[in-house]
Amino acid sequence: MTEHPRTPDGPGLGTRSVHAGDRRDTHGAIHPPIYPHSTFAFARTADLLDVIEERTAGALYTRYGGNPTVVATEAKLADLEGAQAALAFSSGMAAISAALLAHVRTGEQIVCVGDLYGGTYELLTENLPRLGITTAFLPAEHLDRLPAACTDATRVVFFETPSNPTLTVLDIAAVSAAARAAGALTIIDNTFATPVNQNPLAHGADLVMHSATKYLGGHSDLTAGALMGSAELLAPVAFWRKNLGQMIAPEVSSLLARSLRSLPVRVARHNAGAAAVAAFLAGHPAVVRVNYPGLAAGAAKTVVDKQMRGHGGMLSFVLDADAAATAAVVDRLALFSIAGSLGGVESLVTQPITTSHHGMPPAERRRRGISDGMIRLSVGLEDPADLIADLEQALAPLAR
Binding-site ranges for ligand PLP (CB under 6 A)? 91-93, 117, 119-120, 160, 164, 189, 191-192, 211, 213, 223, 225
β-strands 287-291, 348-350: how paired? unpaired
Closest CA to 242 of 101, 128, 134: 101
Has 292 been annotated as catalytic?
no
State the minimum distance, in angstroms, from the CB of residue 194 to ligand PLP.
11
Calpha distance 342→176 (Å, rounded) = 27
State the minimum distance, in angstroms, from the CB of residue 189 to ligand PLP.
5
336: phi then psi, degrees, rounded to nearest 5: -90, 125
Calpha distance 226→233 (Å, rounded) = 14
User: E strands, 166-254, where?
Assistant: 185-189, 207-211, 225-229
Has 372 been annotated as catalytic?
no
CB atoms < 10 A from the CB of 361, how many? 11
- 16, 35, 64, 117: the active-site residue: 117
State the minimum distance, in angstroms, from the CB of residue 248 to ligand PLP.
11
Buried b (16+ CB within 10 A) or exposed e, 50-64: ebeeeeeebbbbbbb
- 79, 115, 171, 189: the active-site residue: 189
In the bound state with ligand PLP, the residue whose beta carbon lies nearer, of 84 and 191, is 191
Buried b (16+ CB within 10 A) or exposed e, 1-36: bbebeeeeeeeebeebbbebbbeeeeeeeebbebbe
In the bound state with ligand PLP, the residue whose beta carbon lies nearer, of 164 and 347, is 164
State the minimum distance, in angstroms, from the CB of residue 168 to ligand PLP.
12
- 22, 47, 50, 63: the active-site residue: 63
Omega prior to 162 cis, within 30 of 0 = yes
Evaluate whether 166 touches 296 at the Cβ level (below 8 Å).
no
Has 189 been annotated as catalytic?
yes
In the bound state with ligand PLP, the residue whose beta carbon lies nearer, of 65 and 92, is 92
Evaluate whether 177 touches 149 at the Cβ level (below 8 Å).
no
In the bound state with ligand PLP, the residue whose beta carbon lies nearer, of 119 and 344, is 119
In the bound state with ligand PLP, the residue whose beta carbon lies nearer, of 16 and 266, is 266
Calpha distance 81→345 (Å, rounded) = 22
In the bound state with ligand PLP, the residue whose beta carbon lies nearer, of 188 and 238, is 188
Closest CA to 154 of 94, 103, 198, 89: 103
State the minimum distance, in angstroms, from the CB of residue 115 to ligand PLP.
10
Q: Which residue is nearest to ligand PLP (CB)?
A: 92
In the bound state with ligand PLP, the residue whose beta carbon lies nearer, of 32 and 119, is 119
Has 117 been annotated as catalytic?
yes
State the minimum distance, in angstroms, from the CB of residue 55 to ligand PLP.
34
The order of strands in the sheet holding 207-211 is 85-89, 225-229, 207-211, 185-189, 154-160, 109-113, 134-138
State the minimum distance, in angstroms, from the CB of residue 152 to ligand PLP.
29
Closest CA to 210 of 299, 275, 45, 200: 200
- 214, 266, 365, 368: the active-site residue: 214
In the bound state with ligand PLP, the residue whose beta carbon lies nearer, of 68 and 200, is 200
Evaluate whether 81 touches 203 at the Cβ level (below 8 Å).
no
Strand partners, 203: none
Active site residues: 63, 117, 189, 214
